[in-house]
Amino acid sequence: MDFASFITSVVTSFVIFVVLVLVFTFLSRRPGNAPVYYPSLLLRGLDPLEGRRRGSRSPVGWIRDAISTPEADVIAAGGVDAAVYLVFLSSVLSILVFSGIVLLPVLLPVAGTDHALDLQAAAGINQKNANSNNDSTPDFPQMERLGLGNVQSHSKRLWAFLLSVYWVSFVTYFVLWKSYKHVSNLRATARSTPDVKPEEFAVLVRDVPRSSPDETIKDSVDSYFRALHPNTFYRSMVVTDHTKADKIYLEIEDNKKKIARAEVVYANSKTASNPEGTKPTHKTGFLGLIGKKVDTIEYCSEQIKELLPKLEAEQRTTLRDKQQRAAIVFFNSRSAAASASQTLHAQVFDKWTVMEAPEPREMIWPNLSRNIYERQIRQVVVYVIVFLTVVFYTVPIAAISAVTTLDNLRKLLPFLKVVVDIKAIKTILQAYLPQIALIVFLALLPAFLMFLSKSEGIPSQSHVVRATSGKYFYFIVFNVFLVYTLAGSLFTSAKAIINKPTFSRIINMLATSLPGGATFFLTFVALKFFVGYGLELSRVVPLIIFHLKRKYLCKTEDDVRAAWYPGDLGYSTRVPNDMLIVTVVLCYSVMAPLIIPFGVAYFALGWLIAKNQVLRVYVPSYESNGRMWPHMHTRIIAALLLYQATMIGVFGLKEFTYSPILVPLLPISFIFAYICHMRFYPAFANTPLEVTQHELKETPNMDAIYTAYIPPCLKPDKLEDLDVFEDAQSHTTSRAPSI
Amino acid sequence: MDFASFITSVVTSFVIFVVLVLVFTFLSRRPGNAPVYYPSLLLRGLDPLEGRRRGSRSPVGWIRDAISTPEADVIAAGGVDAAVYLVFLSSVLSILVFSGIVLLPVLLPVAGTDHALDLQAAAGINQKNANSNNDSTPDFPQMERLGLGNVQSHSKRLWAFLLSVYWVSFVTYFVLWKSYKHVSNLRATARSTPDVKPEEFAVLVRDVPRSSPDETIKDSVDSYFRALHPNTFYRSMVVTDHTKADKIYLEIEDNKKKIARAEVVYANSKTASNPEGTKPTHKTGFLGLIGKKVDTIEYCSEQIKELLPKLEAEQRTTLRDKQQRAAIVFFNSRSAAASASQTLHAQVFDKWTVMEAPEPREMIWPNLSRNIYERQIRQVVVYVIVFLTVVFYTVPIAAISAVTTLDNLRKLLPFLKVVVDIKAIKTILQAYLPQIALIVFLALLPAFLMFLSKSEGIPSQSHVVRATSGKYFYFIVFNVFLVYTLAGSLFTSAKAIINKPTFSRIINMLATSLPGGATFFLTFVALKFFVGYGLELSRVVPLIIFHLKRKYLCKTEDDVRAAWYPGDLGYSTRVPNDMLIVTVVLCYSVMAPLIIPFGVAYFALGWLIAKNQVLRVYVPSYESNGRMWPHMHTRIIAALLLYQATMIGVFGLKEFTYSPILVPLLPISFIFAYICHMRFYPAFANTPLEVTQHELKETPNMDAIYTAYIPPCLKPDKLEDLDVFEDAQSHTTSRAPSI
């Protein structure tokens, strides 16, 4: 990539970003768009206009708001998870700012005043690096002069770069330690609030052993836990296989919606000219296209009348006969539940395994009843599939990065020649084509990984998101970062790698290839943050969809609400994508320090926009109290290790005598990771008793806590029916403790 | 080693064994020897004569007794730990018996009818194996004909050996699974007995955070635990640095003993001729040799009078001012203690770490107050030292095994020539010399490893013994088994190893050298079991020491008791030594099946004698309820893995096409180890609630439980002074909960 196309790329990105911000400023002031730009405020019953009025004072009002809003408000709006995500962004930002403050003023002059590249060009050395890059013309833009590549081998100037590696590493340790402490406190505070949360009184029990045939699982769970926790046991709820009941329930809900819609249509049809109105009708057959024509309201009411007794019968059958080997056990205090969830219950570990109960809204019911061996086997199978996916996705990606150079495209698709040869279009295409191909390609993956994670047998949505995020991270670092960097070299020296795939060889390979990729990744970061964040902030796509839906599809208030309901932040793809940028920027931070300002801009803008969106747009779909943090922390350290290993290789190539000085950094990183894990992680994996002992706001309503866990399709109509519900699960009605 | 010396060795061992058994049969019937042969019975207040009478009916009565005694009696006599040790011996015995039943009748004929060794000898091939062995004459005793070495390469007979490897592996899995289940039940039963055990009501708390200066540690522990466990907290005891108090206490005890002794001497001196008697005197200076001569009884009484107020003052100071950052917290029920010991208490893990309390008698007080970071660092340092010890002990051992061949000895120490050249002595020396050198050498190590394990900061004696046993196992397998086997090859091909120390190369090396060592290890096993067990059973050494002591040193009843007090089984060296035999026998089981009968004899005799000694001799010094088992289990599997890896190498050397069929055994072993660990281990690391819920025999006397943990030097004279003891630790006397 030459200098012109780099500048074009950055400038174009910036122009798009400015346009999108202007669009946002203009559109977000129109009251009609409030559900798109302020859905979170609307759902929390706040007045978006009040925010608009403040915002209208200046077009950058949202920036002021985002900066000034305290963390407590963020937690109130988006939960601890959102706050932790912001801590992640600001931590990386701090790492990059602290690194940049030292690296930019020191390294740029040191590199800029050396002449390695000039010397190479003058001597006419046909440098391998230059060749292996996409562009075959060895033109050295100003930028490459400002990197490690311009420093001669053996030079004493390398000391500055070597010490910079240490500086960046220690800045990272310092910031990460501070952040882990901060997040740990956030979590402790969130868990010790006086609010009554159902999941804090419950424990998930799996692997309930096969009881005797004349005792239901419910009874054996009850008698077991009542015997072990005589003073604190409240009641239990056995997990049932309610797929069939759920189907009937959804059918009823669907019919109810149809009636509501039909009634609105009917009311609207009562115009002055037709005071009776036309009753809406539909056909009963496939997709409403064939079959008998019926009056919608009457037909659906009848359907409901038919389905209701069916549902009731199914509910009874489900509760009694479809009990699974898992249960949720309720305790009458938070400490008792926390303590029970951490205590070994059975002598043999494959029976009565206990863990903290997830929130009711994030339960994955079908996974609860899988037994411990099935979970283990599923996990192994999923890991193997993920490994294969990560490793063999390289093949298509490498092919794409080889094909999508402009020259190749012109050769392969000759009809594009006319378009491609126009100078302006050529420059733009040359700047964006590989990156766009990459981004589109990556969009296909998350759903697949999410499916795999769910198949592992994980009981909660938040855990699935974390698992997906981890898999996606490995994928993205391996395939985008490593493979794109290595692709050129791989084709030339694939044989060498295959013959001797030793670790030191891979490090060498990386060290040789990395400098060439600097400009590619500069463009990649710029594209991601300008265009990505522009789209994110302006919400152009949701806006268009919302207006289209409201105009043509929505009939009732509920329909409109569904049309603008924003969903959550989508951590499973957002976090790994940010992690990729962290990895890229860290790895290039010393080699091409110019990437640091881009990284700073990415995370500063990212933090600003994410905070705005958390406060005004997204609605959390679960609350895991920051359990994502240890995951992010580990992966930042993984990126740091990759960076340190690469730098050892790079200095080795520069034939610098003192490069072994860098080696101790690797064990230091491992020790740091171990200490953080030992000190902070247990409180993320379990609930410490300290935080459960705080006073509650009110005496907990145990019935409400119990009801919160009943799936909607099994919920009795009246709260008083709870006992009926419970008795339906028991075989006998006696409650005497017996084991 | 030639065939004659092998036979000599085995026969000599056997003769020594028979002599020692006869000695035992004779001596154990004399009532005067009862304290040596039945100390455990005496201490439990049983009549050893009753046992003797039964035993006197036949000289092998003890064998009948050992076989017929049920496991419950073993537990009553020696605790669960002893029973688990017997399970270990019988498990290995079962593995070897099941293996032998198939391997001996199948493999011996298959090997014996082949001719590889004859062919080699005939062709005059100067086989490397034969050279690398100690003896340079390539004589092939009958025994080597019966091993894998006599089967020709590529032969179809190898199938029998290959399938035998599978048979041995699956027998091992099966027996280990059964045993783990059995031990798990033993532990569960032991932990759910209705007896009140103080350690089941207590929790050890370490890393107590620095409280405010005007609050004692005792107060902060009290208020913290009272707040978190309001209903179950009983009281707490802060660990103090009582070394000084202990010193004074021991001085007093020493003086008391001296008085008791002096009084006996005084009473004995009152003969008819001297009715007044002579008051015993001693000198006060160094070792009683110099200084003023004083009347012992008077002097010691005065000393005690002086020391008592000192002790009291020191006790007060210790309790108030020498509080350490650790405490033992008592709960009023077993479930509460079990639950508290498994629950995370503080948000940050380096504060308030909790674990199950060890028994009072096995507490290692100075280790309790070490903080979590110190423990980690100490552990790392100790591991490094152990690693260095294990690896660099090879140097002296290899030297010894090179020097202690008879030819070398004659060359190095010419004055031995006269002795050595006598035919009979030569044969015996040739048989035993290397083995004796090895055994003496190994005797020096355990104390050092015990010291290292204690330095790690482990809080209980039983855990230290396990840690020592683990270290000793690594040492013994690496140094005795691997190094002795490899020593010859190492000298010839050290260069090759150093240049490319890859795993496959090491396996190959092992495979080449192992067959040569078969006879050495046969002799080693025979020597160990005949002579070792003979000494163990006959207790010749303790017997002599006891009689000498009683005659010349013991004055009082207490002195006599101390002279025969038997101590415990000494698992820290006993278990690794047995494990070495397991490793050796497993590794040679298929290569030289003749070793199996020796292994069977070793473990059968071992089980018999250990059971006899457990029932009649040894007294357990702690009870860990079988926590040694997971440790043994893991190491048996390690031995199995070593065996499987070696066999893969051996078959590779035989150029057998189907040898890769063995490779799946390695992952199968890992999976088996993982499943066992997942299923059974948690109940060994923690106490399951299931076992704590059994009814107690009586309402626990909480004061007695509390008192059990007071170190003797701090114990108040009267039980009513307990509150004084406790108040001395608190700064304030108020007990209101406050955090």
A251 with A179, same domain: the answer is no
Are A343 and B342 a contacting pair at CB < 8 A? yes
DSSP string, A243-312: HHHHHHHHHHHHHHHHHHHHHHHHHHH--SS-TT----EEESSGGGTSS-EEEHHHHHHHHHHHHHHHHH
Contact B678 A350 (CB under 8 A): yes
Number of compact structural domains in chain A? 2
Q: Is A372 on the interface with B (CB under 8 A)?
A: yes
Closest residue in B to A334 (Cα–Cα): B228
- pLDDT at residue A694 in the model: 76
Q: Which of the two residues, B111 and A665, has the higher pLDDT score?
A: A665
A394, A512: one domain: yes
Among chain B residues, the shortest Cα distance to A227 is held by: B693
Backbone angles phi, psi at A650, to 5 degrees: -60, -45
Residues B285 and B432 in one domain: no
Q: How does DSSP classify residue A94?
A: H
Confidence of residue A141 (pLDDT cuts 50, 70, 90): low
B350 touches chain A (CB under 8 A): yes
Are the C-beta atoms of A8 and A428 separated by less than 8 Å?
yes
The amino acid present at A49, given as its one-letter code, is: L
If pLDDT is split at 50, 70 and 90, which confidence band does A176 have? very high
Q: From the list B338, B344, B679, which residue is nearest A682 (CB)?
A: B344
CA terminus-to-terminus distance, chain A: 75
What's the gap in Å between the CA of A331 and the closest CA on chain B?
A: 15
Nearest Cα residue to A343 out of B591, B354, B140: B354
Residues of chain A contacting B630 with CB distance shorter than 8 Å: none
A371-408: pLDDT as tens digits: 888 888 999 999 998 888 887 776 666 666 666 666 66
Taking the CA atoms of residue A126, residue A131, residue A137 and residue A139 in that order, the dihedral angle to the nearest 10 degrees is -70
CA separation (Å) from A307 to A295, A315, B232?
18, 12, 52
* B344 contacts A689? CB cut-off 8 A: yes
Residue B693 contacts A, CB cutoff 8 Å: yes
Contact A347 B683 (CB under 8 A): yes
- Is A667 near chain B, with CB under 8 Å? no
- Does A722 reside within a domain? no
Phi, psi of B606 (to 5 degrees): -60, -45
Residue B333 falls inside a structural domain? no
DSSP for B676-710 reads: HHHHHHHHHHS--HHHHTSPPSS---HHHHHHHTS
Structure token pair of residue A36: 């798109």
Collapse the DSSP code of A342 into the 3-class scheme (helix H, G, I; strand E, B; otherwise coil) and give the result.
helix
The reported pLDDT for the residue numbered A672 is: 92
B679 closest CB neighbour out of A340, A349, A680: A349
**More reliable by pLDDT, A637 or A137:** A637
The predicted model gives A280-302 an average pLDDT of 75
CA closest to A686 among chain B residues: B344
Mark the ranges of chain B whose per-residue pLDDT is less than 70: 1-3, 47-60, 117, 120-144, 285-289, 394-421, 429-442, 480-520, 716-739
Same domain for A309 and A183?
no
d(CA B214, CA B653): 74
Q: At which of A314, A331, A353 does a domain end? A: A314
- Residues B271, B181 within the same domain: no
Element (H, E) at A42: helix A39-43
Q: Which two tokens stand for residue A151?
A: 């420093």
Residue with the bigger pLDDT between A283 and A468: it is A468
User: Contact at 8 Å (CB) between A147 and A591?
Assistant: yes
Asked if residue A228 lies in contact with residue B192, where contact means CB atoms within 8 angstroms, the answer is no
Question: Could you give the ipTM of this predicted complex?
Answer: 0.76
**Alpha carbon of B691: minimum distance to chain A alpha carbons (Å):** 7
Same domain, A297 and A438: no
Other Cβ atoms closer than 10 A to B124: 8
- Write phi, then psi, for A632 (nearest 5 degrees): -65, -45
Q: Which of A185, A346, A678 sits opposite B688 (nearest CB)?
A: A346
Residues A158 and A267 in one domain: no
Task: Look at A342 and B347 and tell me if their CB atoms are within 8 Å.
Answer: no
Angle between helices B394-403 and B484-499 (to 10 degrees): 120
Chain B positions in Cβ-Cβ contact with residue A690 (cut-off 8 Å):
228, 345-347
| Number of DSSP helices (H) and strands (E) in chain B, helices first | 34, 6
Q: Are residues B31 and B129 in the same domain?
A: yes
Query: Whole-angstrom Cα distance, residue B599 to residue B586?
Result: 9
Instruction: Give domain status of residue A698, yes or no.
Output: no
| Bridge partners, residue B238, by sequence | B327
Q: How close, in Å, is residue B712 to chain A by CA atoms?
A: 33
Verify whether the Cβ–Cβ distance A349 to B687 is below 8 Å. no
Burial (CB < 10 A; 0-12, 13-18, 19+), residue A371, is middle
Q: B686 CB near a chain A CB, below 8 Å?
A: yes
Number of residues assigned to chain A: 739
Strands B353-356 and B233-240: unpaired
Cβ A11 vs Cβ A5: under 8 Å: no
What confidence score (pLDDT) does residue B192 get? 82
> How many Å lie between the alpha carbon of B199 and the closest alpha carbon of chain A?
18
Among A270, A296, A314, the domain-final residue is A314
Contacts of A346 (CB under 8 A, 6+ apart): A352, B683, B688, B690
Between residues 197 and 256 of chain B, which touch chain A (CB distance below 8 Å)? 227-228, 231
Q: Is residue A129 scored above 50 in pLDDT? A: no
What radius of gyration, in Å, describes the C-alpha atoms of chain B? 30
A285/A262 Cα distance (integer angstroms): 18
Determine the average pLDDT of the residues in A524-530.
Answer: 73
Q: How far is B688 from chain A (nearest CA, A)?
A: 5
Q: A218: closest CA among A322, A317, A312?
A: A322
- Spatial CB neighbours of A155, under 8 Å, sequence gap ≥ 6: A114, A654
Radius of gyration over alpha carbons of chain A, in Å? 30
CB-based contact A690 B228, cutoff 8 Å: yes
CA distance A689 to chain B (A): 5
Last residue of a domain, one of B674, B691, B708: B691
The pLDDT score that the predictor gives to residue A439 is 65
Burial class (CB in 10 A: 0-12, 13-18, 19+), A494: exposed
**Residue the block writes with tokens 């030289």:** B592
Instruction: Give the pLDDT of residue B490.
Output: 44
List the one residue out of A103, A170, A273, A102 whose CA is nearest residue A664: A170
B679:A339 CB<8 A? no
In Å, how far are B262, B280, B282, B285, B287 from B290, measured between CA atoms?
A: 19, 16, 9, 5, 8
B257 in any annotated domain? yes
Domain identity same for A182 and A250: no
- What is the distance in angstroms between the Cα of A78 and the nearest Cα belonging to chain B? 23
What lies within 8 Å, CB to CB, of A226 at 6+ separation is A233, A737
Inter-chain residue contact A344 with B687, CB threshold 8 Å: yes
The reply to whether residue B372 touches residue A678, judged by beta carbons under 8 angstroms, is: yes
Residue keyed to tokens 């025969």: B564
Q: Residue B678: closest CA among chain A residues belongs to which residue?
A: A349
Query: Would an 8 Å CB–CB cutoff place B342 in contact with chain A?
Result: yes
Alpha carbon separation from B637 to A39, B276, B508, B644, B677 (Å, rounded): 60, 70, 21, 10, 12
Residue of B nearest to A335 (CA): B228
Contact A678 B349 (CB under 8 A): yes
Nearest to B243 by CA among B349, B320, B146, B314: B314
Q: How far is A184 from chain B (nearest CA, A)?
A: 8
State the pLDDT at residue B440. 65
A626: left (phi over 0), alpha (psi -120 to 50) or beta: left
Going by C-alpha positions, the residue among B77, B185, B15 that lies closest to residue A346 is: B185
Binning pLDDT at 50, 70 and 90, where does residue A139 land? very low
Chain A residues with CB under 8 Å of B209 CB are: none
Cβ–Cβ gap A339/B343 under 8 Å: yes
Rounded to a whole number of angstroms, the distance from the CA of B343 to the nearest CA of chain A is 6
Q: How much is the pLDDT for B669?
A: 93
Q: Is residue B367 part of a domain?
A: no
B727 CA to chain A: closest CA distance, Å?
A: 26
In angstroms, how far is CA A504 from the centroid of its own chain? 33
> Per the CB < 8 Å rule, is B680 touching A348?
yes
Using a CB–CB cutoff of 8 Å, tell me whether A188 touches chain B.
yes
Q: Do A372 and B678 touch (CB under 8 A)?
A: yes
User: Is A374 an 8 Å CB contact of chain B?
Assistant: no
Give A339's contacts in chain B (Cβ within 8 Å).
339-340, 343
pLDDT for residue B263: 79
In a domain, A397, yes or no: yes
Contact B347 A372 (CB under 8 A): no
Spatial contact of B380 and B456, defined as CB atoms under 8 Å apart:
no
Residues of B in contact with A346 (CB under 8 A): 683, 688, 690
pLDDT tier, A159 (very low <50, low <70, confident <90, very high otherwise)? confident
Nearest CA in chain B to A681: B349
Give the residue numbers spanning the domain of B54.
3-194+373-691
H helix or E strand, kind and range, residue A111: helix A71-112
Chain A within 8 Å of B343 (Cβ-Cβ)?
yes
pLDDT digits (tens, 9 = 90+) for A38-64: 777 777 777 665 655 554 556 667 788
Asked if residue B674 is part of any domain, the answer here is yes
Q: Which of B347, B372, B681 sits opposite A683 (nearest CB)?
A: B347
B624 touching chain A per CB within 8 A: no
Whole-number pLDDT of residue B553: 75
- The encoded tokens of residue A216 equal 């239901």
Q: Which residues pair with B204 in a beta bridge?
A: B328, B355
Task: Write out pLDDT tens, residues A650-664.
Answer: 787 777 778 788 889
Query: Which pTM value belongs to this model?
Result: 0.80
Q: Are B445 and B572 in contact (CB under 8 A)?
A: no
Residue A738 sits at the chain B interface (C-beta within 8 Å) = no
Q: Which of A344, A681, A686 sits opposite B682 (nearest CB)?
A: A344
Output the pLDDT for position A255. 83
* DSSP output for A148-163: GGGSPTT-TTHHHHHH
Structural contact between residues A575 and A634, judged by C-beta atoms closer than 8 angstroms? no
Based on the fold, state whether residues A546 and A686 are members of the same structural domain. Answer: yes
pLDDT (0 to 100) of residue B457: 87
As a whole number of angstroms, the distance between CA A67 and CA A56 comes to 17
Q: Specify the pLDDT at position A264.
A: 80
Q: Render pLDDT for A718-727 as a digit per residue (tens, 0 to 9).
A: 555 666 666 6
Nearest in space to A295 (alpha carbons), one of A278, A313, A315, A281: A281
Considering only CB atoms, A688 lies closest to which of B342, B347, B678, namely: B347
Q: Do A253 and A166 share a domain, yes or no?
A: no
- Summarised one tens digit per residue, pLDDT across range A303-314 is 888 888 888 888
- Per the CB < 8 A criterion, the answer to whether B150 and B115 are in contact is yes
Output the average pLDDT for chain A. 78
Å from B471 to nearest chain A CA? 24
> What span, in angstroms and rounded, lies between the C-alpha atoms of B547 and B564?
9
The model's confidence at residue A173, banded by pLDDT at 50, 70 and 90, is very high
Task: Indicate whether B718 belongs to any domain.
Answer: no
* Measured distance CA(A257)–CA(B246) in Å, rounded: 82
Q: Where are the alpha helices (DSSP H) in B229-295?
A: 243-269
Instruction: Give the span between the Cα atoms of B394 and B480, in whole angstroms.
Output: 9
Residues paired with residue B323 on neighbouring β-strands, in sequence order = B240
Give B660 or A86, the one with higher predicted confidence. A86
Cβ distance A616 to A37 under 8 Å?
yes
Residues B155 and B255 both lie in one domain? no
pLDDT of the residue at A647: 84
